[in-house]
Structure 1
Amino acid sequence: MTDLQDDADFQALMGDVTPLLRGQGRAHTGQTHRAPSEAQLARRESAAAETPGGDLLSTDFIDLMPPFDPLHFHRDGIQTAVVDRLRHGGYPVQASLHLLRRPLEECRRMLPPFIREAYAHDLRSVMIIHGRGREIDSPANVLRSCLAKWLQSLDEVQAFASASQADGGLGATWVMLRKSERAKANNRERQQKRRG
């Protein structure tokens, strides 16, 4: 067959077909779109409840960190000396969360309750052990990159920094939590007692 014959055959087959215009959407398949069922709504609510803040800890739009770059962040008002001391392991580990080789979704569910419970118990310095891959898109490095975003979105977190080599290096992150209102009140009380 010649190209001319192929074109004629194609035109004969397509006869009364008209192309969709841009913005018309998908062709009608005969299925109608229904509102979500009660079970679907319940599952959505449950998923939102499991991850406080809903999409606060999203895995969308994560900038992958180069695997050999240290993580660091601090909120305005935190002194550089405090962040340096945190990075060098100058605070005791009061609690730790081990996320090594866990699925990303499980890590996303585990992080907020861990941080909130530590904060509720007046802990100030915690460590997250996550590992570090050698490739930018390795699972450990993806988790590490997600943690850099997630930790910044949690109000309880004041600062974080990759651990020193002795404490796990780039495979672990020190996290400093802000003082709870109870801890602040205790500090004020102690200072007033000292002053007499």
Structure 2
Amino acid sequence: MTRRPPKVNEDDSRLFREAIGDVRPMLVTETVPEKPRPEPHPHMRDADEAAVPAELLVFDYDPADLEVGEELSYLRDGYPPKVLKQLKRGQFSIQADVDLHQMNAAAAQLTIAEFLAECRHDGLRCVRIIHGKGLRSKAGGPVLKGLTDRLLRRRDDVVAFASARPMQGGTGAVVVLLKA
């Protein structure tokens, strides 16, 4: 439904002309086109990209510290050392895994808890948690690696864990043995 404007009567037209007064037509002038504007350029992105190589060379923590305690290893009291040795040698078959890359600590903590609960429910015994090596972490070193280590040590259902073998993710992953 389209609305038409109301008809304008003579009184309205006369009042309008009186209100605006005398008018004169505008002179038409030819405008000179202004010079074309330059294309936008992402200066901040260029600056960020240029800063990356320098940032990669700056370590707020000593990489040597990371190398010394790099491998994770744990065996719950009451289990024979042979179990941890077998785990480190890759003698258990990994039945499931979860990748924590790009997660913050809170999301990783929740993901680990849910993953291990699901694995226990499904009767899985040996699983892998990929936490990464923490190469992009700031001053505190690898955040997710340390978090994974602390969380697994506190869990009653974890018998042992050790850094994965090189072909399974090396020190960027941990293989976990759960209670049967």
Q: Give the TM-score normalised by the residue count of structure 1.
A: 0.54
Question: Is 1:154 the counterpart of 2:155 in the alignment?
Answer: yes
Displacement of 1:67 after TM fit?
2.6
Any gaps of 5 or more consecutive residues in structure 2?
1-64
| Matching residue's letter, 1:67 | L
Decide whether the 8 Å contact of 1:89 with 1:167 is kept in 2: no
Q: Does 1:176 align with 2:162?
A: no
Q: 1:89 to 1:140 in 2, by over 3 A?
A: farther
Identity %: 32
After TM superposition, the structure 1 = structure 2 runs for residues 51-66 of structure 1, keeping only pairs within 5 Å, are: 66=65
Equivalent residue, structure 1, for 2:14 = none
CA distance in 1 between partners of 2:156 and 2:168 (Å)? 25
Q: Could you tell me how far apart the structure 1 residues matched to 2:164 and 2:79 are? A: 18
**1:132 corresponds to 2:133:** yes
Q: Deviations over 1:17-53 (max 9, x none)?
A: xxxxxxxxxxxxxxxxxxxxxxxxxxxxxxxxxxxxx
Question: CA, structure 1 residues 121+139, in 2 after alignment: closer, same or farther (shift >3 Å)?
Answer: farther
Deviations 1:96-135 (A, max 9, x none): 0110121211101111111111111111100001110348
Q: Normalising by structure 2, what TM-score?
A: 0.58
Q: Assess if the C-alpha contact under 8 Å between 1:112 and 1:154 holds in 2.
A: no
Quote the Cα distance in structure 1 between the aligned partners of 2:105 and 2:172: 15
Residue pairs, 1:93-104, within 5 angstroms: 93-104=94-105
Equivalents in 1 of 2:160, 2:137: separation in Å?
A: 24
Name the structure 2 match of 1:165. Answer: 166
Write out aligned runs for 1:66-105 (5 A): 66-68=65-67, 69-105=70-106
Match of 1:67, SS state, is: helix
Q: CA RMSD in A?
A: 2.0
Q: Structure 1 residue 154: deviation in Å?
A: 1.4
Larger Rg: 2
Number of the residue aligned with 1:39: none
| Stretches of structure 1 lacking an aligned partner (at least 5 in a row) | 1-65, 180-196
Q: Give the 3-state SS of the residue equivalent to 1:160 in structure 2.
A: strand
SS in 2 for 1:132: coil
What is the alpha-carbon distance in structure 2 between the residues aligned to residue 108 and residue 144 of structure 1?
A: 11
Q: Deviations over 1:53-86 (max 9, x none)?
A: xxxxxxxxxxxxx432200111112221211111
User: What secondary structure does 1:127 align onto?
Assistant: strand
